[in-house]
């Protein structure tokens, strides 16, 4: 498969994953309400849900740009930011993800999908720089 086809396939996957992510977010409402109560953060700057929201806004923003225009403005900066936005590098998210044994499976699935979208975005941007 040539590079252009791979890039187009990656773009389609990004668009599809973006739609899945939006739907998944809506289906996590009940879990998010429980998490807001269970994991309040007096000693953290941002709560677990706020950290997740920040990641979501950044990653979905890039995906929306690719969906609508096929590229991202300030590509090098976007690559740097996406590399730094490792979802499980955020302590509250990692502690929640690995510490809530068997609970909150919908939100955990959302977290995995969000990180996968981040990786696909990086792959897509790296196609553009080759």
Cβ-based burial of 65 (10 A; exposed 0-12, middle 13-18, buried ≥19): middle
Residue appearing with tokens 């900066």 = 77
What is the C-alpha separation between 127 and 121, in angstroms, rounded?
A: 10
Q: How many domains does the chain have?
A: 1
Which pLDDT belongs to residue 16? 96
Torsions phi, psi for 56 (to 5 deg):
-60, -45
- Give the C-alpha distances (Å, rounded to integers) separating 113 from 32, 61, 108, 116: 16, 15, 9, 5
Question: Where does the pLDDT of residue 129 fall: very low under 50, low under 70, confident under 90, or very high at 90 and above?
Answer: low
Q: Which domain holds residue 114?
A: 3-129
Which pLDDT belongs to residue 29? 94
Residue pLDDT, tens place only, 20-62: 999 999 999 999 999 988 877 667 788 899 999 999 999 999 9
DSSP state of 103: -
Residue pLDDT, tens place only, 67-96: 999 889 899 999 999 999 999 999 989 999
Mean pLDDT of 111-124: 95
Contact between residue 87 and residue 118 where contact means Cβ atoms under 8 Å apart: yes
Percent helix, percent strand, percent coil in the chain, to nearest 5: 80, 0, 20
Which pLDDT belongs to residue 102? 85
């Amino acid at each position: 498969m040539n590079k252009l086809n791979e890039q187009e396939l990656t773009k389609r996957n990004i668009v599809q994953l973006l739609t899945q992510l939006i739907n998944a977010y809506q289906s996590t409402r009940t879990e998010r309400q429980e998490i807001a109560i269970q994991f309040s953060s007096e000693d953290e700057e941002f709560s677990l849900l706020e950290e997740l929201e920040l990641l979501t806004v950044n990653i979905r923003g890039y995906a929306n740009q690719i969906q609508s225009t096929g590229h991202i403005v300030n590509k090098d900066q976007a690559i740097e930011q996406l590399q730094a936005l490792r979802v499980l590098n955020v302590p509250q998210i990692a502690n929640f993800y690995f510490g809530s044994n068997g609970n909150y499976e919908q939100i955990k699935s959302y977290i995995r999908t969000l990180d996968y979208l981040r990786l696909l975005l990086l792959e897509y941007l790296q196609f553009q720089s080759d």
